[in-house]
Amino acid sequence: MNSRIWTPTGARVNPVGLGCMSLSGFYGPTNQGEAFEVMARSLELGVNFWDTANVYGGGLSETLVGKFLAEDRQRREKILLATKFAIRRGPDGNRVIDNSEAHMIESLEGSLKRLGVDHVDLYYVHRLDKNFPIEVTIDALARQVSAGKIGAIGLSEISPDTLRCASAAHPIAAVQSEYSLWTRSPELGLIQACREVGASFVSFSPVARGAFSGQIRDIDALPGDDFRKGTPRFSGVNWTRNLARIDAFVALAADWGWNPAALAIAWVIAQGEHIFTIPGTRYARHVEENALAAETPLTAVQVAAIERVLPVGFAAGDRYTDSQWGAIERYA
């Protein structure tokens, strides 16, 4: 694999990792057998940056990862393991963002138990709680770094300004945000700020929640509870317009002999040596396709050709509804 240096430890890490949210049924039903196949194939291919969170499936994702690691303790040594905290359910069942130290410690202990490990390599603040200055949250996490339960601190869906403030309190290893050919807002300062402070940038949804695979046509055919059915880019005339652009991209991939999902991922990691990505999947065959993205780096000519087909800002519709934005920081 064409690995990259993970700055906090100097370890060699595949720039194409594994997002484990899909293992918890977020995009449709799965089972332990399929999840284990995904993780086993990831290890075989050197896909060694795994990302989960305590809220994925109400802890199911972490539990499945923990069970898989428990089958062979040598597996834990082969991966950079990341998880997250901050989101919980209030008494009324609504989502609450809680960055308090008490909640962080409770969440971390729960994650360690489900994962069956004594520490995680990277621990993210999943969403920011405006009740706490970022420096206070980082100081609390730094105490867990000193205690050996966290290898490094990460932040998710934040602004460049927040990153700089956090980095002044403690080194930040990584910032995670949605980034793909149809979500390019991190280019307006966040990717640059990561480079400035020495943090890695971690892209989630590099295949645009499956859109760039070329396999999604009829949104109405997706399961009734599929997250995509309620989002603007997958709805009505927006999807019709987006699909026409995506079809041209799929055709370009075919002309080059590329799997379209792998090509979309390859474009992401071509944007900088400090960029990693964590495509999610429920199927081992997709792990194989995604991993191809790290095998043959794109040339500048290829990147330019892709961006002529899918120019910056091409997507019709926003990536979330107004109610879905929640605690995501907007900065541009």
Active site amino acids: 56
Tokens at 226, concatenated: 């599929």
The residue assigned the tokens 């991993």 is: 291
In degrees and rounded to multiples of 5, residue 68 shows phi and psi of: -65, -45
Strand order in the sheet with 174-178: 18-19, 49-51, 80-85, 122-125, 153-156, 174-178, 200-204, 275-277
Tokens at 212, concatenated: 């760039």
Q: What b-and-e string marks burial along 33-64, b requiring 16 or more CB atoms within 10 Å of the CB?
A: ebbbbbbbbbbebbbbbbbbbbbbbebbbbbb
